[in-house]
Structure 1
Amino acid sequence: MSQERLQEAIRLRSAGQAEQARTILMELLVSKPDDPVLNYQMAWTCDNLGLEHEAIPFYTRAIEHGLSGDDLAEALLGLGSSYRALGEYQRAVEILQRGVAKFPQHRAMQAFLAMALYNHQHYREAMELLLRNLAESSADTSIQHYQKALLFYAPRLDEVDPG
């Protein structure tokens, strides 16, 4: 794999020239079809082009062939998001739950999981996840002022005080 060509493809995608990046990545994948980094970069490029359906096999191959670290987190998020965008909500939830289990501090992964849960009509779980993340990560002073209450009520949204 030509590292220079890969960097050129990444630079082109970042500059809004995803179609040119895609062409380079396709050329590189001919000689290394199972390379996890190339597959991940191709998936990301397809996503940039709005080609979620085409991105899915590249994300899957990247993950299956040993992608690791931050790239693995982003690939799981991208794969789950692609499934969600295509209306495959159960698959999206499964992939994003796997991502949250592996990367529990990845707030964006949790937000995408909340969206997929919502789409899958798991409204309570989606709201609880969003409220917990909001309370735990917001720097807003009014949110921080009510953090304890938000964390208390997040798993109890359906409870009513009988009093």
Structure 2
Amino acid sequence: MSWQERIDAVWAGADDLTNDEMVEAIDALVAERPATDAVALFEAAGARDHAGREAEAEPLYRRALQVGLPEPQRAQAVIQLASTLRNLGQAEQSAALLEAELREHPEHDLADAARAFLALAQHDTGRHTDALQLALRALAAHLPQYGRAVSAYASELGAP
């Protein structure tokens, strides 16, 4: 079984593990890789995030992104880092990270996920109208019957 298949197997069984067991299982596999392996760093960060250890996950996400992750892990790491930052009380930084991601990759497969987490960060920063507009516009794209109306209503929010 390949390294990635073993990682995937740990994630598939995550619900049957305690948080500590999950981190230990991922860390055992991460230890097989070089310290600069971006995917291994990403998996280590994700395990800590899953375990509610966001403060430990943040630097690992940053390092994985710095080293250079391939897609789709790069986009996942940006979204997960932004969510982690929000959970750590850094909603402004979370929003800025996601806004940059959406500017650079507006049509990425995970763009709607980025928009969802951006809406949460905007809400946390008091930008409630922006958050609702963003969420409604993202949703409108998936509403064949009412998408245009929902998009129009979103545009009207906050208008004088």
Q: TM bucket by the smaller chain?
A: 0.7 to 0.9
Q: Aligned equivalents of 2:127 and 2:147: distance in 1?
A: 23
1:141 alignment counterpart: none
The CA deviation string for residues 27-85 of structure 1, in whole angstroms up to 9 with x for no partner, is 235xx222111111111111111111111111101111111211111000000000011
Shift in Å, 1:148: 2.0
Is 2:112 the counterpart of 1:107? yes
Shift in Å, 1:159: 2.7
1:14-163 → structure 2 map (5 Å cutoff): 14-16=12-14, 17=17, 18-28=22-32, 32-105=34-107, 106-138=111-143, 144-159=144-159
More off after superposition, 96-105 vs 72-81 = 96-105
- Name the SS for the 1:158 alignment partner: coil
TM-score by length of 1: 0.82
The CA deviation string for residues 95-152 of structure 1, in whole angstroms up to 9 with x for no partner, is 11122223323211100000001101111211110110111123xxxxx443222212
**Counterparts in 2 of 1:51 and 1:111: CA distance versus 1, 3 Å:** same
Q: Aligned equivalents of 1:145 and 1:6: distance in 2?
A: 41
**Counterparts in 2 of 1:68 and 1:98: CA distance versus 1, 3 Å:** farther
Shift in Å, 1:11: 1.5
Where structure 1 has 5 or more consecutive residues not aligned to the other structure, the ranges are 139-143
1:13 alignment counterpart: 11
Q: What is the aligned-residue identity percentage?
A: 28
Q: Aligned equivalents of 2:123 and 2:142: distance in 1?
A: 21
Q: Is the 8 A contact 2:140 2:147 kept in 1?
A: yes
Shift in Å, 1:5: 4.3
Where structure 2 has 5 or more consecutive residues not aligned to the other structure, the ranges are none
Structure number with larger C-alpha Rg? 1
Please provide the CA RMSD for this pair: 1.9
Shift in Å, 1:22: 3.0
TM-score by length of 2: 0.84
- Name the SS for the 1:50 alignment partner: coil
- Name the SS for the 1:137 alignment partner: coil
Q: Aligned equivalents of 2:67 and 2:23: distance in 1?
A: 25
**Counterparts in 2 of 1:22 and 1:78: CA distance versus 1, 3 Å:** same
What is the aligned residue count? 151
